[in-house]
A and B are shown apart, each in its own frame.
Chain A
Amino acid sequence: MIVTKDHIGGLIFLCLSVIYGYYTGDIALLPGDEYEPFNSQSLPYALAMLGGALSLGLLITAKSDLNNKLSLRGYDFLLVFKLLLLVVLFALALEWVGFLLATVFFLISGYWLLGERRTKMLLLASVPFAIGIWFALTQLLDVYLAPGQLYILLFGG
């Protein structure tokens, strides 16, 4: 039997529906709610059952077609991982060094990861852009951007 994308998808959603249904039991009910025709658990239980039934339907109707097999060849997962890691680091940098420096760091690293190596281009496409955005937000739109924990630690609030 060939395991296809439909089989994998069906199995994942079947597991999700079971887990979802299991945690539905943890939803607290207000006193007397269990006698009401509709309470906080009603829709989640219905969705868990519907999700389970549809997943089983997908698993049963999935054809073992070779063309539908999941192939991960030719995809650049490493680059995507690095970029998403960069996004996570950007979030951390926002808290610690503030919007302006975090943006410059994110853009330069992003350009670099995607293959741009010219220093002049790296700086020109990031620093003026970051300053421009920061200026527009703080000075023109009057949006408050926190300076970053590191700045507060060093220079005080």
Chain B
Amino acid sequence: MLDGIFTGLSTAVMPFNLMMVVVGCFAGTFIGMLPGLGPISAVALMIPITYGIDPSSGIILMAGVYYGAVFGGSTSSILINAPGCASTVVTSFDGYPLAQQGQAGKALALAAYSSFIGGTIGAIALLIAAPALAAVSLSFQSTDYFALMILGLTAVAAFSGKGQVIKAMIMTVFGLMIATVGTDKTSGVPRFTFGSVDLIDGISFLLLAMATFALAEVVMTILNGKHKEKDAQLSMAQLGSMKLSKEEILHVAPTVARSSVFGFIVGVLPGAGATIASFLAYGLERNIASAKEKLKFGKGSLRGLAAPETANNAASTGSFVPLLTLGIPGSGTTAIMLGALIAAGVQPGPRLFVDNPEVFWSVIISMYFGNLVLLILNLPLIPYISKLLTIPRPILTPLILFFSITGVYLVSFNTFDIHMMVMITVVALFLKLLEFPMAPMLLGYILGGMMEINLSRALVISDGSFAFLWERPLTLGIMIAAIFMLCLPPILERLNKRKAVSGPEVAINEGEG
């Protein structure tokens, strides 16, 4: 492991990679601050840049953007009560009341410290957990991979929120259907191309990700009329002091410790991600608080702010465990990273640890740097970065549109891709209006190709029999876990009906964190 750490350190401290961490954190903070644009959109916007650089630098950049976007989302949650992404919705429950009480600076500082500690503890846990899991997963066979992919797909559907399970599963199937467009990788036969040469290579991952998460998100804000809203412009004087007293630190320390571990574990679960971790950590903290402290939740409780902030960063780090070791993304954002890595010729999964150790380790090491950058550089600069939000929306929106479109065009130099993007955006908008979650579709699309290859291999080996699903104990275990994941939402729903839950009720739309 020590060798690996040195490999990672030597790659991560390269000036270009350090610059990627800094640039990623800044770009992520800025994009994450924009209401409506979350980590998925921020990471999707970075894909075209990663095509031109080394895979290690690319994933370091995307990881930096991921943290930055989660942090930026917290900032807009606290300052203007407009969460940039789903994982920071809970932050606004107590962060915004604090800002209204003239303690915005304190809330921002606490959010930054909590994120830093959550992210750092998460990174340490990742350092221990990822190589151990990677070593175990080296013994996986194609049957296990197929079962793992089924687990990844069902987990995303299971965590998609109340009443959304069937919709999420339909979207997963839709993603798998999109993945079948183009030349079949095993036989070389074209499928669903309808004679079009432009579809021979299938629908590109970049195009799909940009259309559904960058373009569609921006167009959705226009459809809702949000582009007409003026963001609150806070001056530095309004932020108040950024210092926390010793009592306050002691008060939130146990919360931060609990939420770090809890957030990391939730993040590791395929499909859960930062959003669910932040909601669960807030709920946990509220449940174990004293009656007096419980009353403060929702009115500016420091514990209520620290818990989700710590958990969402720890979970963001935790979601890298299944991505790096099994090639199964833990969230929508890591699904995009998986697609970008595959496009760059790097196959995440057990072999990544062996074939591309520099990618594996440099991501883990760069996470420490990312957390440091957020704390040392971004926190003091927040008053200035938030000023960027004062750029009028009629100017900012076409610029984001421009970057989304040219990001795709500059990779293929084919204007057909722009037309295709528009078509996919229209479909995505319609599906969003019907409240279908987008993340499962992207995950289905990314895992579709690999799933088909592994299923094909497994079936050929077992001579067409599906007995491989229960003959090997490991495969059987994973399949049972997948079935359990599918049965979990109805069980939880029934339990929730029995136990009336009080407090701020917020629906989790999709496991996108």
Contacts and interface: CB of A to CB of B under 8 A. Distances in A.
Given A9-B167, A27-B191, A28-B189, A114 B393 contact: yes
Interface string A86-109: 011011101100000001001100
A84 interface: yes
A106 B402 contact: yes
A139 B401 CA distance: 24
A152 interface: no
Contacts of A39: 187
B421 interface: yes
Contact of B177 (A51, A58, A75): A51
Given A80-B219, A87-B422, A5 B435 contact: yes
A50 B173 contact: yes
Interface residues of B, number: 58
Contact of A40 (B173, B184, B392, B410): B184
B459 A114 contact: no
A70 B431 CA distance: 11
B440 to A, nearest CB: 12
A137 B176 CA distance: 35
Interface string B157-193: 0000000001101100110110010001011011110
Contacts of A29: 187, 189
Nearest to B398: A110
Interface in A116-138: 116, 121, 125, 129, 133, 137
Interface of B: 52, 166-167, 169-170, 173-174, 176-177, 180, 184, 186-187, 189-192, 219, 222-225, 227-228, 392-395, 397-399, 401-402, 405-406, 409-410, 413, 415, 418-419, 421-422, 425-426, 429, 431, 433-436, 452, 455-456, 459-460, 463-464
25 contacts: A9-B167, A9-B431, A9-B435, A12-B434, A40-B184, A44-B180, A47-B176, A54-B166, A58-B167, A70-B433, A72-B433, A75-B225, A79-B223, A80-B219, A91-B419, A94-B415, A110-B401, A114-B222, A114-B393, A114-B397, A116-B392, A116-B395, A121-B395, A125-B395, A146-B413
